Amino acid sequence: MIPAAFGYTRAGSVDEALAAIAADDNAKVIAGGQSLLPLMKLRLAQPGTLVDIGRLAELRGVTRLDDGRLSVGALTTYAELMESPAAHYGVFKDAVPSIGDVQVRNRGTVGGAIAHADPSSDLPAALLALDAELVLQSAGGTRTVKMDGFIEGPFQTGIRHDELLTQIILPAPRDNAGSAYAALEQPASGYPMAGVAAVVIVGAGGLIEWASVGITGVSDHAYRAAGVESAIIGTTGAAEVLAAASAHATDGVSVNSDIHAGAAYRAAMAVVYTRRALEAALARVG
């Protein structure tokens, strides 16, 4: 397939990139291109201008902030993520190796996965569970938003046209926390039909003092399963508690139905994989 005609600009700096996207209402930012280019070839995406930020070194890499949190540059690839301090998080250890293939993991970027907001992308669920923050930059300054609420629908986010996602901020690692990801993958594509990321923090007396569950592949966009979270906070995470809490995995969402899985099956698998992710996360605490 051949994409529709488009303009092309290679940005030499973040400021150049911001100027280019502000100049064309139909501009699209490209970095790894592992998601955008296939859509362009099918003419499902027809940008007026491609703004290439792939060579902006200042947007690549993972650094530890003074308060212990991790800053992940938006151009950090999946492979680079797993060679960084972020590999400490069990949720990344589980999710990232199954994303795409070697080429995708070497070229695809963390920021691209977030901005693209594919309803079946693994990474947004992991970042939702980690309660990540996103740094968005425009010519007028920067703002920081929560990952929770940033994805508004299929391929839709809260990023404004004149903004660029520059950083993802992850919480500081802690000994009393555990995280995990479990997914039922479509055999041919590897995309999750139900993918669940879970993070738990265990406090005094072995009680769960904080929990976060991100789910992807189930609805039209990745979301936080608030019902599951509230059902396990304050408990020890006993098997029967996790089973009952996982039943809330699809509360308040419209479950997808397609050629790969009907809504009833997908909802049932969301429950199963939520329980598995929670069990694995609790096993990693300490």
Helix or strand or coil: residue 100? coil
What DSSP state is assigned to residue 85? G
Q: Are 53 and 30 in contact (CB under 8 A)?
A: yes
pLDDT in tens, the chain (286 residues): 788 999 999 999 999 999 999 999 999 999 988 888 888 999 988 999 999 999 999 999 999 999 999 999 999 999 999 999 999 999 999 999 999 889 999 999 999 999 999 999 999 999 999 999 999 999 999 999 999 999 999 999 999 999 999 999 999 999 999 999 999 999 988 899 999 999 999 999 999 999 999 999 999 999 999 999 999 999 999 999 999 999 999 999 999 999 999 999 999 999 999 999 999 999 999 7
Element (H, E) at 199: strand 192-202
Please give the model's pTM, rounded to 2 decimal places: 0.94
200: nearest Cα among 167, 168, 171: 171
281: nearest Cα among 82, 70, 91: 91
Residues 164-187 as b or e (16 or more Cβ within 10 Å = b): bbbbbbbbeeeeebbbbbbbbbbe
**Domains, the chain, with CATH or none:** 7-52 (3.30.43.10), 57-170 (3.30.465.10), 177-283 (3.30.390.50)
Taking the CA atoms of the chain, what radius of gyration do you get in angstroms? 19
Instruction: Quote the CA–CA distance of 171 and 148 in Å, as a whole number.
Output: 14
